[in-house]
Amino acid sequence: MTGYVDVHAHLTHEAFDADRAQVALRAAEAGVEVVIVNGLEPVSNRQVLALCAEHPHLKPACGIYPVDAVAHKIDRATWSHPFDPPAPFDVDAEVSWIDAHADELVAIGECGLDQYWVKDQAEEQERVFRALCKVAVKHDKPLIIHTRKAEARSLEILQEEGVVKADFHCYGGKLKLAERIAEAGYYLSIPPVVVRAESFQRMAQKLPLERLLTETDCPYMGPDRERNEPANVPLGVAAMAEARGIGAGEMAAAIRENCRRLFGI
């Protein structure tokens, strides 16, 4: 039987503090052979390396999340979102740290552009994103991209930076642009929320099979309102296969092969 892959998980999130090892074990029992655990900033990047060292099927990716990338520039007095602004850190030192550890990573990410939570720091966000693109190209590593309300710009930057290997995670832009992303040779990973989200079902139906991947973005984006986890990937694959009108086995095999092609695992 073909194994499953989760190319974007946040297993260092505090939602997993009580049962992290069991969650990793449940993933393996559900046939999830590869879980790429993504870091966001200095603290989680180091936790990702430590966690992945304990479990052979967990693979590390380190990056700088676009909201954290501008933490040092956020005006705390006018911040109005329902969560605290991220803690500031030395972004350039973190880019250097990722560069120094790149050979231990299966990908650089997550990183990208976010014009949803932070709208006024596009320039600094792009600077950090481009720096991570350069690290990825230098070490021949794929990028795992977060992009919200900046999908076209992210594609443009990847091409300007000469990036050939990238996955757009939880893509929420227009289908037409997703098709251009796939045509450019990049991949798009779909989370288990696809069981109840028509936009992801349409992506699973319309995009080339050889450009689709699966992820969880856990603890978010689950099949129900509960905490998401990598063991839910088979549910997502079944929903993707149904949307496309093919067998779940065929869908899983294609995704497994795509993961090998992009990440080499």
CB of 9 to Zn ion, least distance (A): 8
Which residue, 35 or 241, has its beta carbon nearer to Zn ion? 35
CB 89 within 8 A of CB 125: no
Which residue, 236 or 241, has its beta carbon nearer to Zn ion? 236
CB of 242 to Zn ion, least distance (A): 25
Q: Give the contact letters, 171-210, x = binds to Zn ion (CB under 5 A), - = no.
A: ----------------------------------------
Q: Count the neighbouring beta carbons within 10 Å of the beta carbon of residue 163.
A: 24
Which residue, 17 or 75, has its beta carbon nearer to Zn ion? 17
Say how many residues touch Zn ion, by CB under 5 A: 2
Q: Which among 50-58, 73-81, 199-207, 211-219 is the span making contact with Zn ion, rule CB under 5 A?
A: 211-219
CB of 74 to Zn ion, least distance (A): 19
Which residue, 64 or 239, has its beta carbon nearer to Zn ion? 64
Residues 104-133 that bind Zn ion (CB under 5 A): 110
Residues 88-107 that bind Zn ion (CB under 5 A): none
Q: Please give the Cα distance from 39 to 138 (Å, whole number).
A: 20
CB of 10 to Zn ion, least distance (A): 6
Residues that bind Zn ion (CB under 5 A): 110, 217
